Amino acid sequence: MAGIALLFVAAGVAVSTLVSLFNQRVDSVSLLLATVIVGFAGLLLFTSTKLGKTDQASIFTAVGTTWLIVSLFGTIPYLLAGTFSRTGIGIPEVFVDSLFESVSGFTASGSTVFGAHNPIEMQGSGILFYRQLTQWMGGMGIVILVVSVLPSLRASGLGLIDAEAPGAGVERIAPRVVETAKKFWYVYLSLTVFIALALFLFGMGPFDAVSHALTTASTGGFSTKDSSLGHWNSIKIEMVVMLGFLLAAINFTLHARSIEKKRFNYASDSEFKSFMGLIAVGVLIITLLLNLEGFSFGTALRNASFNVVTLATSGGYGNALGRGESGDFASWPGSTQLLLLFFIVIGGCTGSTSGGVKIMRFRIGIAHAYRILRSIRRPSALIRARMGNKTIPDSLVERVAGFVVIYGILVVSGTFILTVLGTDLVTSLSGSFSALGNMGPGLGEIGPTSSFVDGFSAPGRVVLLFFMLIGRLEIFPMLLMFVIPYRTSVNAIKSKK
Amino acid sequence: MIFSLFSKRSDSQSITYINSSIQIAVSRGILIGFSAAGFLAVLSGLIDLTDSGTDTAVFLIFGTLITLICSYLTRYVSEKKLARSEIFLSVFSGFLFCILCSSFLYLLLVEGENFADVFFESAAAFTTTSLTTLDFTNSGRGVIFYRTSSQLLGSFAALVTAVLVVPISDDNFGLRMPGRAATQDVFPDRKNAVKSITVIYLASLTLLTLILLITELDFFHSLLLAMSAISTGGFSRNTNYFENSSVQLLLSLGMIITGTSVVIIWRLASRKVGFMLRSSEFHIYLSLILGATFLIFFWADEGTASSLGKSLFFAISSISTTGFHISPFESWPIAAAFFILLLVTIGPMSLSNGAGFQVHRLRILFALLRREMIRQLHPRAVVKIRAAGENVREERVRQVVVFQFLFTSTIFITAMVLTISGMDLYDAFSSAVAAITTAGPIRNPDGLVIAVSSFSSGERLALVPAMVAGRLYLLPVFISLGYLLSESRNFLRPRRRILQAIRSNK
């Protein structure tokens, strides 16, 4: 599977080479060379491996390994083009930066190591386009991409998608798994085209429009400008991006069903309603708080709605013109930052391209708490956890509880490691949440106008890139990938004895 | 004891005015809360006689009046047996009204203070949170004794609640010992449990007071420090004591005991040492203390014996949620600030005097995590949650998960309110953690103590709900609030009210 995935990455690098050739021709040779290396590696892996047993353990190992290999090979274009080489840093740090950007791209996080020390706008269009493409490929999921072209996977395909997909699992929207995967990709492609056209219509150049459409549909958040969307300072563009983010953060099954039945059926979905309700309340409260801080109502509403949507959908664009400007939420009052942190943690809907804990899990958590408190009051009553009109099965509640517990443990351990490495508590905590939720920016030193180089040391960035991978695969596959070989070897030793 | 001051009412006096369950629960809470504060005031008045005696009259009049009035009023409250949620409400309202009553007493005793400040002081005392706003520099012995003994009463009430009232499911949370010995009933009945806890309290208090006399402290100050350590309150008028190595060491010993489960201490007192040695929760608790001491000592980078003692004191003071005000080391990395917050969040053993998340709950969460990992690989596997070699019931696991949810939500909401008032994120977060774990003091990233008197009245009051909820182990407070909410909703629905009235008449 990793072989096919690498061939897709090679195709992406090839497209970026073409973009580079049509523009300033900077980095064309490096990108061409990267296409050959990645393509060759992919071909080699594809021909040298064959489909083995498809139990849960091998599915997790396959998905985890694919993401690791793709992220590692994704660094080659950056390394060959010397994107992160600068005076005063050694090869290990250049590699860490390349890997960080690659992982942040494929996991659609949007955290970046570009900054004032190494501006984005100094890069060639080929590398920039490749960077945007990594988010687009990773946004929907590399594994889904592979499954859609590999009919030989048959039933194990759904397990693979399940292991990668955000949320509590994937709903089959077509009889065949390959058809399901293809439908997801058609919706994704259509959304990208729609956003690109809208952005072009509202004043972006064709290159920027396509580049931003790729990272909007994937809720990635990479931009081709140093000040992100603040560069255009256009309400229309911000509105298009907000709409794009919202569409991308809604369960893709809803989109696919709506297209199929030619009828919008969103209002019947309780997760969708909660998501929109939370965003509306968040925008309202933050607008009022910013207004109280002295922002004019218009500015407060614009900045609150843009930043709430971008963080709730794990988008990660910024609309600040610079550090400390009105759109820079890292300089907003603590109360608004705490609310934004809440949205960073919660994230979007299940089955979407967004990250975070997800609205569904949040609702199950509340329903469960309500049920337990009621059952303590009425010990003999049989009380079920409910969400909308549906009863939540106990097994799902237990899965969500397990997920939330491990999420919390990871955040606490990540924050502790990062503080040991010298980062302040607010930056460490928000960095851990942001990386696990594939969010992009955070609070403190890693606001929307900052670089992760300013906020974290190289070892800190290594911790965060692992967190991004763990978060993208909804924690378990990546963790079990390391546990399974250990358990296998322990069992082997035991059986020998 | 207090209620026996009046003879039992005769049949002719059996008319009670308070009959509905909710009213009975709240009334009992009010009466118990007020009389507890009154009883403490009488005791403090007597202690004040050993000093100048300037506050004795206020203490004695206030205390006697309150106690007598409450004792008299008990005859008008029905003796009906209450359901579990109503008992929770009773405990919760008892705590609140005890705080309220105590606030009025402070208003009478401490000059020039407003109600918000005395209410916070009183709440901090009864919830054993090591935060203080009032200036006790010129206060007499009576006032200091009242402030310190409030902590003891608060922690005793919370522990009795944990042992007798909170047991929501019958395993591992109430009269039984969490861990390997869960099958054995340690306290055979409730009466014995209260008796045993009282004995443990008095014995450990006496022992620690006597041991502290070895240092240069006089009896009164030894008693005060012992009360602060045993109750995990952490209050002291003079923080210079904590710089003394021998005081540090002796108080550390006291705090280790206070963070240990009362069941273990009782067994130990019954010369069953093996029970303690077998308790895996106790092992984890000790390992946490040792690990934390080592880490703090390593960060302190001083390498002296006194810094080792201070590291131990810091670690135990945090993990037992006592929170003595001790100055940080010169070398205080950012990680140390977070680590201290982490320690107070984890807290001591279950069924100990400390608050926080507590070791046993944490173990259940880790066991849950392990089960989810196994279930990912074998989705149809039936995996039991095991802690300390015993199966934990699903209901208990769910309660722990909900506890975690409520714990996090309370921290978030408290921090949110504090940031709205203008506090920065770090201070708001650490204040919220200090409040819900009832630990205190609040420290800045450099480890220095932030005086809570520098907060606005609104900020201080915002901490009180978290302090009360944390001291009463969250669930009783949330269940009480839910009960009150649903009852008031019913009350506001006239149709339902009429139906209920008809039913009760039948």
Is the pLDDT reported for residue B10 higher than 60? no
* Residue A394 scores a pLDDT above 60: yes
A336-374 burial, b at 16+ Cβ within 10 Å, e below that, comes to bbbbbbbbbbbbbbbbbbbbbbbbbbbbbbebbbebbbb
Q: Please give, rounded to a whole number of angstroms, the shortest distance from the CA of A340 to a CA of chain B.
A: 11
List A residues 371-390 in contact with B (Cβ-Cβ < 8 A): 372-374, 376-377, 379
- Selected residue of B86, B361, B377 to mutate for chain A interface (largest A Cβ count, 10 A): B377
Q: Could you say which of A289, A379, A426 has the minimum Cβ distance to residue B426?
A: A426
Higher pLDDT, A325 or A1: A325
User: Best residue in B401, B424, B429 to probe A by mutation, most A CBs within 10 Å?
Assistant: B401
- What is the band of B506 on the pLDDT scale with cuts at 50, 70, 90? low
Q: Is A479 on the interface with B (CB under 8 A)?
A: yes
Is it true that the peptide bond before A393 is cis, omega within 30 degrees of 0? no
CA distance B92 to A93: 56
In chain A, what percentage of residues exceed pLDDT 90? Answer: 45
Nearest chain B residue to A54, by CA: B377
Distance separating alpha carbons of residues B226 and B129, to the nearest angstrom: 16
- A398 interaction partners in chain B (CB closer than 8 Å): 368, 372, 375
CA dist., res. A78 & res. A91, Å (int): 13
From CA A392, how far away is CA A395, in angstroms rounded? 8
Whether B371 and chain A come into contact, CB under 8 Å, resolves to yes
Query: What is the per-residue pLDDT for B173?
Result: 38
Q: What is the pLDDT of residue A94?
A: 93
Question: Looking at the complex, does the CB of residue B84 fall below 8 Å from at least one CB of chain A?
Answer: yes
A485 part of contact set with chain B, CB < 8 Å? no
* Planar angle of CA B229, B220, B450, nearest 5 degrees: 45
- Measured between CB atoms, does A361 come within 8 Å of chain B? no
Interface test with A, best of B88, B342, B398 (most A CBs within 10 A): B398
**Would you call A289 and B420 a contact, using CB atoms and an 8 Å cutoff?**
yes
Judge whether residue A174 has pLDDT over 80.
no
Q: Where are the alpha helices (DSSP H) in A264-357?
A: 270-292, 297-312, 334-346
Contact (CB<8Å) A376/B85: yes
Q: How confident is the model over B89-142, as pLDDT tens digits?
A: 999 999 999 999 999 999 998 887 888 999 999 999 999 999 999 888 888 889
Distances (CA, A) of B357 to A285, A299, B335: 31, 42, 20
Residue B407 has pLDDT above 70, yes or no: yes
pLDDT-based confidence at residue B343 (cuts at 50, 70, 90): very high
Count how many Cα atoms sit within 13 Å of the Cα of residue A389 in the half-sphere of its side chain.
Answer: 2
Average pLDDT over residues B37-43: 93
Residue A52 has pLDDT above 70, yes or no: no
- Of A83-92, A432-441, B4-13, B242-251, the one with minimum mean pLDDT is B4-13
Instruction: Report the complex ipTM.
Output: 0.86
With the C-alpha atoms ordered A432, A434, A438, A441, is the resulting torsion angle positive or negative? negative
Tell whether A281 lies on the interface with B, counting CB pairs under 8 A.
no
Element (H or E) spanning A351, and its range? Answer: none
For residue B87, the distance in angstroms to the closest alpha carbon of chain A comes to: 11
Portion of chain A with pLDDT greater than 70, in percent: 89
Calpha distance A186→A258 (Å, rounded):
13
Chain A residue numbers with beta carbons less than 8 Å from the beta carbon of B397 are: 401
pLDDT digits (tens, 9 = 90+) for B432-482: 999 999 987 899 888 888 989 899 999 999 999 999 999 998 888 998 888
Transcribe A224-254 into DSSP letters: SSTTGGGGT--HHHHHHHHHHHHHHTS-HHH
pLDDT at B176 exceeding the cut of 60? no
Q: Do A334 and B365 touch (CB under 8 A)?
A: no
Stated as kind and residue range, the H or E segment containing A397 is helix A394-420
User: What's the DSSP call for residue A329?
Assistant: G
Best mutation target among A332, A342, A394, A398 (most B Cβ atoms within 10 Å) is A398
| pLDDT beyond 80 at B497 | no
Q: Is the CB of residue B415 less than 8 Å away from at least one CB of chain A?
A: yes
For residue B111, what pLDDT is reported?
80
Residues from chain A that touch B342, judged by Cβ atoms under 8 A, are 412, 416
The mean of the pLDDT values for chain B is 84
Tell whether B429 lies on the interface with A, counting CB pairs under 8 A. Answer: yes
Tell me the percentage of chain B whose pLDDT exceeds 90. 40
Q: What is the pLDDT of residue A223?
A: 93
Q: Which residue has the tokens 């009992």?
A: B28
What residues of chain B lie within 8 A of the CB of A424, using their CB? 334, 426, 445
| Partner-chain contact A373 B399, CB within 8 Å | no
Q: Which B positions 275-334 lie with beta carbon below 8 A of chain A?
A: 333-334
Residue A332 has what DSSP assignment? S
Determine, for residues A372 and B365 on separate chains, whether the beta-carbon distance falls below 8 Å: no
B445 CB neighbours in chain A (<8 A) are: 424-425
Q: Please, which residues 117-176 of chain B have a Cβ atom closer than 8 Å to chain A?
A: 168
pLDDT at B53 over 50: yes
Interface touch A334/B425, C-beta < 8 Å: yes
> What is residue A149's predicted lDDT score, i.e. its pLDDT?
55
- Cβ B412–A424 below 8 Å, yes or no? no
From A334, A369, A403, residue closest to B428, measured CB to CB: A334
Min Cα–Cα distance to chain A from B376, Å: 7
A186-211 tens-digit pLDDT: 888 999 999 999 999 998 999 999 99
Range in A9-18, A152-161, A208-217 the model is least confident about: A152-161
Q: Which segment, A123-132, A247-256, A369-378, is predicted with the most confidence on average?
A: A123-132
User: CA nearest A225: which of A249, A247, A241?
Assistant: A241
Pairing mode, strands A390-391 and A386-387: antiparallel
Q: What is the pLDDT of residues A273-287, one digit of tens each?
A: 999 999 999 999 999
Strand partners, A390: A387
Q: Given this model, what pLDDT does residue B6 score?
A: 45
Taking an 8 Å cut-off on Cβ atoms, the answer to whether A422 and B445 are in contact is: no
* Segment 5-64 of chain A within 8 Å of chain B by CB: 56-57, 60
